[in-house]
Chain A
Amino acid sequence: MRYDTVICGAGLAGITAALVSLSHGKSTAVVARGESSLYYMSGYLDLCGNGDNPWNAIDDLAHANPAHPFALSDAKEKSEALAFFVEQTSPGYPYAIPVDSRNHLVPTCTGGIRHTYLLPANAGADGLADRGRRVRAIGFTDYRDYSAQLMVDRLNKKGYSWTAAEVESGCSKVSQTSIDLASYLDDDYPALIDKLRPVVKDCDCLVFPAVLGFKKHRVIVEAIRDAFGTAVFEVPTLPPSLPGMRLSSALISRLRGLGGDLFWGFPATADNSAGDRCTGLIVDTPGRPRLIEGENYILATGGIAGGGALVERERIRERVFGLPVETYGTTDERFLFGEQGFARSGIRVDSDMRPIGPDGKIIYKNLFCAGRALAGYDPFTEYDGAGVAIVTGYQAALAAIRRWD
């Protein structure tokens, strides 16, 4: 089988690209070594900046840094990409575009406050918009990775008046991570509601760590809402991130539902035998390698965390095509929480999302690149991780389709 589009990587960028390709009627395969950064991230999908207006932040960034991936699209294209993405999430784990196109103010699990753009239906948003809201944060005595009291204490210093309460989750697991709790609640959430009865009082909003179920999330949230007549929100936890997992699983079922093929679990390298064209991905599967062939290819293998970039002592290597990596900074920068030069390293592309070399020349005619693999941005200081992945995934797929047509 020869596909119209072959995508390497099943993170936000790769899956967005795959869904665009499928929605244009193109046969599409995704090859992914494993689960993506969605499992690590909060599920708060940032567009740009830690301020009220992400669109101004985008303009500022693109202005200051013409090599930024956001400089490759205008606001209209970005809005289209985000709207397309949100539509894809609606059957499984619906996200929404903010009504006024401004960032939401959201809490973090240690009582920080930050901005983000796209939120799933029950994430911590409007609890922070209104300071007078009577919010009760619930923690679990048997969940080490989350303290409701810590979060509330720190938030209240910023002018809120939340209260905290703890209940036992009832999950008697030896190793209790977010996913253990969520799986437990998938089955036994009615017991949780009984445990909550004594502690839910004087509030119109309940906030939980994001462990309210994996498969049954919607049902659980509704059950709590119905039982107490309050709003229900989740705050992201340490990894694995349930909001990210739910999103990943929703996007992947969407992909399968639209007839996309998924080759899961093994790393790919490129077959570059034909000079200026990529002729296939060679996937290192058990027994023998498997060749996946297509008309166009999209590289969306992420950065260091996603596995697309390998940091060696002297250089950073792109692992699938061996593309030239534009490298910034050094790997011995000292301050952990400051700007890290290497974070901007990655693949440089032309306006059609095709990787180019230091000489500015296109490397393969039929190769496009999207997401964290790109050069020129730092999601950890710019708050644009999800935004870049979604927008460039969308653009790369459209560019591939244009070439095909």
Chain B
Amino acid sequence: MLPVNGIEHCLKCSICHAACPVARANPNYPGPKILGPDRGRFMMNKSGKTVPEVEWCTNCQRCEVACPHGVETASLIRALKQEALHEKKHYWRDLLMGYPHILGQLGTAFSPIANFMLGSPIGRSMTAQMMALAPDSSLPAYAGRSFQSWHRGQGHTASSNKVVYFVGCFANYNRPEIGQALVALLKLLDIDVIVPKQVCCGVPLLSNGFRDRALKLMSYNVQNLLPYVKQGYSIICSCPSCGLALKKEYGRELGTSEAARVGAAVYDSSEYLDIYGQALEEHLSAQSWRLTYHQPCHSLAQGIGTPSLSLLRKIPGVQVSFVDGCCGQSGTYGLKEEKSGVSRQIGRQLIEAITDQKPDLVATDCGTCSLQLSRLSDLPVEHPLVLLEKAARGAAAGLGDRYRPAV
């Protein structure tokens, strides 16, 4: 049976449909109203009939954010995805991509080979064919050394203020600079960073319908984070999708008080730093950057406002504009051969809005958003933490060492 999640509050006003980026880009996608509450009403107490179109939902959750009556459309659709799991055309691909922490361990350990497979034209075309990925997808390059491995070599400060960092696979294996920037910024505030054992947050599995497998990763993380939460530590996420999962999905999917307790201790990195905004501001040196900030859907869905925007605006001399919209990447969605067209189509309007602002650089908190934005706009894209750390490091910093995906 499907969970009812507020179906009875649905007025059928179509606000969710209007908010859905996929419904706008894919003519075959019925949209959240039809797949969520409409279908939910018909199918209450029944199961067995699967809906292949649910596959197209990116789990951006914009429908839920837009709904004025609290209907949980996205989770209704996710439940349908689970039911349709065994009819997936690319079961093995989706399953494999659901384990970015394992891919990441391999990728960083053998980064020259991995980056050849992801970056060189021949390697990329082989990978794309094997994995049913879009031939032009931009896969993130692997770092030579993971964040966790770097952090183990760092030693701790004497500070009694400590926080726990849930690194997330992108910052851990692809872009350790994000985590390093967080550590440096927290150090300025005299806060030490603990990095407990952790695996992928489970979102890639969950949004591809592999709920049971996602639950295993989630339980593992809860087990490892809970002892710290019991001691009163906050958990910081620099990835909005990890953050949203820990805050919202863990409690809901695992249904345990431990998961809820962990969720209540989680902060998005900018949400956390914003609390110390005044103290941090003193460390920020003037920069002449012209930035456009893109808020990832999963940061929006945390209901935290736009703390990254407030922080970036604290850097003296910096101009920051805001653009609203989904970039269409949604984790691994935009990489998939059959979905990359829709993903690009969704991203196009956002890219237009960004280029209208004529920025030097785009700031966004999400790793996979940054892949899409740099692929489609050809502008450098950075995590706000990296920019803040640059500004804190002192003298005016250029934007020279820009990050590029493996392509």
Query: What is A's interface to B at a CB cutoff of 8 Å?
Result: 1, 29, 33-36, 39-40, 171-175, 177, 179-180, 183, 186-187, 215, 239-240, 245, 249, 252-253, 256-257, 259, 261-267, 283, 285-288, 290, 305-307
Kindly state the separation between the CA atoms of A185 and B70 in the bound complex, as whole angstroms: 30
Q: Find out whether the CB atom of B19 lies under 8 angstroms from the CB atom of A35.
A: yes
Q: Find out whether the CB atom of B24 lies under 8 angstroms from the CB atom of A174.
A: no
B118 to chain A, nearest CB (A): 31
Interface-forming stretch among B87-95, B295-303, B331-339? B295-303
Cβ–Cβ < 8 Å partners of B187 in chain A: none
Q: Find out whether the CB atom of A33 lies under 8 angstroms from the CB atom of B68.
A: yes
Interface-forming stretch among B26-34, B76-84, B282-290, B387-395? B26-34
Kindly state the separation between the CA atoms of A323 and B326 in the bound complex, as whole angstroms: 38
Q: Find out whether the CB atom of A39 lies under 8 angstroms from the CB atom of B18.
A: yes
Q: What are 8 A-B contacts with C-beta separation under 8 Å? A: A1-B274, A29-B305, A35-B15, A36-B68, A259-B313, A265-B66, A265-B303, A285-B302
Cβ–Cβ < 8 Å partners of B29 in chain A: 174
Instruction: Kindly identify which residue among B25, B64, B349 contacts A265, using a CB–CB cutoff of 8 Å.
Output: B64
Q: Find out whether the CB atom of A286 lies under 8 angstroms from the CB atom of B302.
A: yes
Cβ–Cβ < 8 Å partners of B28 in chain A: 174
Counting chain B CB atoms within 10 Å of each CB, the highest count among A215, A261, A267, A287 belongs to A287
Cβ–Cβ < 8 Å partners of A283 in chain B: 303
Evaluate whether A240 and B15 lie within 8 angstroms (CB atoms) in the complex, with A34-B66, A179-B24, A287-B248 already known: yes
Instruction: Kindly identify which residue among B15, B23, B246 contacts A180, using a CB–CB cutoff of 8 Å.
Output: B23
Q: Find out whether the CB atom of A266 lies under 8 angstroms from the CB atom of B24.
A: no
A387 to chain B, nearest CB (A): 22
Q: Find out whether the CB atom of A307 lies under 8 angstroms from the CB atom of B68.
A: yes
Kindly state the separation between the CA atoms of A39 and B69 in the bound complex, as whole angstroms: 13
Evaluate whether A174 and B27 lie within 8 angstroms (CB atoms) in the complex, with A35-B19, A240-B18, A266-B303 already known: yes
Query: What is B's interface to A at a CB cutoff of 8 Å?
Result: 11, 13-15, 17-19, 23-25, 27-31, 34, 64-70, 244, 246-248, 263-266, 274, 277, 300-306, 310, 313, 322, 324, 345, 349, 353
Instruction: Kindly identify which residue among A34, A305, A307 contacts B65, using a CB–CB cutoff of 8 Å.
Output: A34
Nearest chain B residue, comparing its CB with the CB of A266: B303
Q: Find out whether the CB atom of B69 lies under 8 angstroms from the CB atom of A286.
A: no
Evaluate whether A261 and B349 lie within 8 angstroms (CB atoms) in the complex, with A171-B27, A240-B13, A288-B264 already known: no
Nearest chain A residue, comparing its CB with the CB of B24: A183
Q: Find out whether the CB atom of A286 lies under 8 angstroms from the CB atom of B349.
A: no
Nearest chain A residue, comparing its CB with the CB of B33: A175
Q: Find out whether the CB atom of A239 lies under 8 angstroms from the CB atom of B303.
A: no
Q: Find out whether the CB atom of A263 lies under 8 angstroms from the CB atom of B15.
A: no
Nearest chain B residue, comparing its CB with the CB of A32: B68
Cβ–Cβ < 8 Å partners of B345 in chain A: 187
Q: Find out whether the CB atom of A240 lies under 8 angstroms from the CB atom of B68.
A: no
Kindly state the separation between the CA atoms of A265 and B310 in the bound complex, as whole angstroms: 19
Kindly state the separation between the CA atoms of A29 and B305 in the bound complex, as whole angstroms: 9
Kindly state the separation between the CA atoms of A196 and B334 in the bound complex, as whole angstroms: 35
Kindly state the separation between the CA atoms of A261 and B322 in the bound complex, as whole angstroms: 12
Cβ–Cβ < 8 Å partners of B274 in chain A: 1
Q: Find out whether the CB atom of B65 lies under 8 angstroms from the CB atom of A265.
A: yes
Q: Find out whether the CB atom of B303 lies under 8 angstroms from the CB atom of A240.
A: no
Q: Find out whether the CB atom of B27 lies under 8 angstroms from the CB atom of A263.
A: no
Q: Find out whether the CB atom of B305 lies under 8 angstroms from the CB atom of A35.
A: no
Evaluate whether A1 and B277 lie within 8 angstroms (CB atoms) in the complex, with A40-B13, A180-B24, A239-B13 already known: yes
Cβ–Cβ < 8 Å partners of B303 in chain A: 263-266, 283, 285-286, 290
Nearest chain A residue, comparing its CB with the CB of B301: A265
Cβ–Cβ < 8 Å partners of A173 in chain B: 27
Q: Find out whether the CB atom of A261 lies under 8 angstroms from the CB atom of B306.
A: yes
Kindly state the separation between the CA atoms of A352 and B277 in the bound complex, as whole angstroms: 35
Cβ–Cβ < 8 Å partners of B70 in chain A: 33-34, 267
Q: Find out whether the CB atom of A179 lies under 8 angstroms from the CB atom of B17.
A: yes
